[in-house]
Amino acid sequence: MQRMRGVNIASDVHIGPLVTIDDVYPYFVTIGRGTSIAGNNFILTHTKPLKYHSEVSEAYVAPVTIGKNVWVAINVTILPGVDIGEGSIIASGSVVTKSIPPFVFAAGIPAQVKQDIAPKLKKNYSEREFEAILKKRKEEFGF
């Protein structure tokens, strides 16, 4: 059903019950292969503050990309413009307000990196693939 709405969903993706993918711009959402999104989550690609609040917050639309093999636990909200890196885990109840690097465990409101889980995921990649992802992570996120 989500694919029919325009959500770009790769193969082998699990989307649990009560997951709301933006109702206005679903085609701005991309979900990578092997990803699991637990229930009761919100994935938003736009904001629309009341006119009353227009001087405080602008309305905008921005894509959301959830990488390959990501695990988004229950009760997570992902805000517009966020990329979640390959292999990362987002803890239950988190609010993701900015992009998350690959191979990390992130939690909180707002979600922040709590642990580097790359060493435990290395077995899933060739040495070359793994090093390429880590190099890109260092360039984009500084670690």
Taking only the tens place, the pLDDT of each residue in 23-60 is 999 999 999 999 999 999 999 999 987 889 888 888 89
Q: Which sequence spans correspond to the domains of the chain?
A: 2-117
Tell me how many degrees the CA angle 137-142-143 measures, rounded to the nearest 5. Answer: 65
Closest CA to 3 of 33, 19, 26: 26
Q: How far is residue 9 from each of residues 1, 4, 63, 138, measured CA to CA in Å?
A: 11, 10, 14, 27
Task: State the pLDDT at residue 128.
Answer: 97
Residue type, 50: L
Full-model pTM: 0.94
CATH of domain 2-117: 2.160.10.10
Residue type, 140: E
The 10 Å CB-count burial string (b at 16+, else e) for 125-137 is beeeebeebbeeb
